[in-house]
Structure formats: structure tokens, C-alpha cells
Amino acid sequence: MTVPILLCLTLVGGRAESGPAQSSAEVAFEEAVRSVGPGRVNWTNLQLVVDSRSDRRVGAWKDRRMQEQDALDSIAPRMEAAAHRVPVTANATAGDLYTGGEVGERLEEGARGWQISETRYHESGGVEMAATLDIRTWLLPALAQLATAAPGTEELSDTAATGLVVDARGLPFELSLVPTIATVDAQPIVKASLLAPAVDARAAPVVYVTDPADPRAYARAGARPLFARATSADGASLMLAPDANITPSPSVAALVAGRRVVVVVDP
């Protein structure tokens, strides 16, 4: 696959930096990044990133051109392998949804929509590339077949909860596009079927942050969220603490259906 190089960095002693300076708000909070096969998922920004490197040597300036193409050629199979392994729910990966039919075909086609986001040239020789796949564009439309709850119809009062924040730090929790969150007596609070179809097809089911003070948590859960602590994790499933005082009530269901959920995890 041949794709345009969106960002080509200049040689600076094996390290390169480019782009506008980030604001303090953007760099103040770490993002939730997890390895997945030969790639990594930034769950905060919903991006799948795969790196590739070539040190192929031929001679003179031919090296760079051949190394660029060599690195580029190796990205497609690496991205495909990583994409298949991206967790979608507690029980399914993206590869499990490649089951043929229109949805499966759209997923396979969408997984090929990656772009080169960064290129690094090293003084010692060699070229590194990073390719990025936007998970919002790729996977979120496929949730339409899983998100079957009715949108919440309750009118929120000035004192009603505006979202749900679950603290899962310190647990061996495996992040997924739609985690399962349940009460201590196994009543599900969050799962794919409890989502309503989103007005915005790119609206993530939950937002993952590493600090509850992250502005992205406020943007999703609002000024008056319900707070709960998770005390155990099994893969991409969380169990809330016995004292969480959260049940699958109509008000909580409306928050989940409306995708007003934030999960705080370790970096």
C-alpha cells in the first residue's frame, strides 16, 4: 500500500521533533497507552499506532529511498496484525467482527485507512516510520449493531448526575473499546448492549484518562458525575466496590446509554 507521508522530520542526531508546541493543558496529563500485537493503542485519543524501521544499505542517497519504501512496505502487515487484536468488548476483538457481510467488509476496508504520521531519519543510518489508524473512524460505526439501548428520555434536573466516573487504577484491567462494568452482585452497569446509538458516530463509548482531573474527563462526565471505585478486574471487565452505591437504575442507564462514562486507569 502506498500512502502519502504526512509528516517528514528532518535529521537531528537521530532524534527529530516537529509540529506546533503543545499547550500546558495538552501535556499535563498522561494518556492511556497499551500494547496490542506489533502496535499500541492510545485509548485516550483512540488511535492505533504501528512503527516500522529499515536499516537497509545500498549506497549513497539510494539508501534513504530504499529504506523509506522498505519501512513503508512492512507497515501494512504489521497494522493488519495489530488491528485484528484491538479489543472491542470484554469478549471480542476487532478480528472477531471480521465475519463477512457488510460490517465485516467495512471493517477490513477501514483498517487499511491508516496514514503515515511520522518519519524519523537517523544519523547512523536507517529510517523509522509511524503509521496511525483512527479508531473512531474505523471501529465506532460498527458499534451500531451492538448498541441497542433506547436513548435516555429523563429530563435532568439542576442537581442530577451528569456522568459516571469509575476509578480502575491499580487493577490488572485490560482496556477495550466498550468495557464491561458491573456491581458486586454482577448487575451490569456498562456493556455494549446498554449503549444507545450515538448521534455522533465518532462518540466513544467511554473516555479513558489517567487522572480524574484531566479536562477530557470533565468534558465527558460533566460537573456533577457519580464516582465509583472498581475493586477487581477480569480482563476487560470491572467490578465496582460494594460501597459504590450505584445500581442499574434508569438515571444511571441514561448516562451509560448517552456515553457519559469515564474510566480512570494507570498510564
Scan for cell 451492538, then name that residue: 146
| Cα 206 to Cα 190: distance, rounded to the nearest angstrom | 9
| Cα 246 to Cα 188: distance, rounded to the nearest angstrom | 11
Q: DSSP code of 106?
A: H
| Cα 99 to Cα 113: distance, rounded to the nearest angstrom | 19
Instruction: Give strand pairing partners of 165.
Output: 227, 262
| Cα 237 to Cα 235: distance, rounded to the nearest angstrom | 6
Nearest to 185 by CA among 240, 148, 109, 128: 240
Give the per-residue pLDDT at 153: 53
Give the per-residue pLDDT at 4: 38
| Cα 74 to Cα 265: distance, rounded to the nearest angstrom | 32
DSSP element (H, E) containing 194 = none
Determine contact, residues 206/262, Cβ cutoff 8 Å. yes
Give the per-residue pLDDT at 10: 30
What is the pTM (predicted TM-score) of this model? 0.82
Pairing verdict, β 188-190 and 180-182 = antiparallel
List the chain residues with pLDDT less than 50: 1-26
Give the per-residue pLDDT at 83: 96
Give the per-residue pLDDT at 197: 81
Structure-derived torsion over alpha carbons of residues 138, 109, 149, 173, reported in degrees to the nearest 10: -50
Give the per-residue pLDDT at 9: 36
Nearest to 114 by CA among 28, 166, 51: 51
User: Does residue 65 sit in helix, strand or coil?
Assistant: helix
Largest CA distance in the chain: 71
